[in-house]
Structure 1
């Protein structure tokens, strides 16, 4: 494949629509903001044995700002080329599956929590899923028997592009 090959299909998904993750992340952020305001603005460190101001500041930076920004940055990008499927779960995972290794492609409905233990890069044994939202995707059965599930908001289009 040349470096300038054009993709047949590209889909980018982010965690922004998973309400419970956002509730958790922004709940932590609100808590940290409240603790930081109580500590630095009102001069009343929380608790009976308060942490030093530097520790409160560090926790505020990590949990009050870092977690929300981190979840804002996470994304799943699936790009289909003529000869391969490129899966990126940024910033952690990149997997390239040559089309020659794909034995079967089919759209499917699944339950991320029950089938894979949640969202993200999940799985066990010979089954792995890359998903960030929803319950629809494409199942790739590889020639060695392993199964890869790609979460997608347009599974029929993704399956058609891979089968192309």
Structure 2
């Protein structure tokens, strides 16, 4: 069996997200220097919230790894590493999807059928276990196909178990 390792780390890198955050921070900062503002101490709470949101978006990362026997992923800072042996996975497939329409956006989402973990893009790996189904977004569909082929080879050699 081929020993290919698929590794991907994703972050929120869409320009529009950062522009929106910067615009929000600009409004807060503008109000600090507004001569009509009566109490400058009122600005620290909104400024702190904006700062925390910036830190959250900077720290968010979706890490995926598929090796010859397992799939693992984490979505820092919300989900620690989850690891699934190929023996526990019934099926994996690459899917092209629209996160906004199918899940209502990006991040950790649920569409009443299964969970999705993504940061953007239009491709994902659907993973089905005996009792779970979820999607992990990927920005590298061609590389993911190689990992899925390795999974299929594993399943065929082990008679689907």
TM bucket (normalised to shorter chain) is: 0.7 to 0.9
Could you tell me how far apart the structure 1 residues matched to 2:141 and 2:129 are?
A: 18
Unaligned runs of 5+ in 2: 151-161
Partners of 1:121 and 1:129 in 2: how far apart?
Answer: 6
Q: TM-score with structure 2 length normalisation?
A: 0.78
Q: Does 1:97 align with 2:93?
A: no
The correspondence of residues 30-109 of structure 1 with structure 2, limited to 5 A, is 30-38=26-34, 44-46=35-37, 50=38, 52-63=39-50, 65-94=51-80, 95-109=82-96
User: 1:8/1:104 Cα in 2 relative to 1: closer, same or farther (>3 Å)?
Assistant: same
Cα-to-partner distance string for 1:63-82 (whole Å, 9 max, x where unaligned): 1x332232122111112233
Residues in 1 aligned to 2:17 and 2:84: alpha-carbon distance in whole angstroms: 29
Normalised TM-score (structure 1): 0.77
RMSD: 2.3
Cα deviation, residue 157, structure 1? 1.6
Larger RCO, structure (CA 8 Å, separation 6 or more): 2
Q: How many residues align?
A: 147
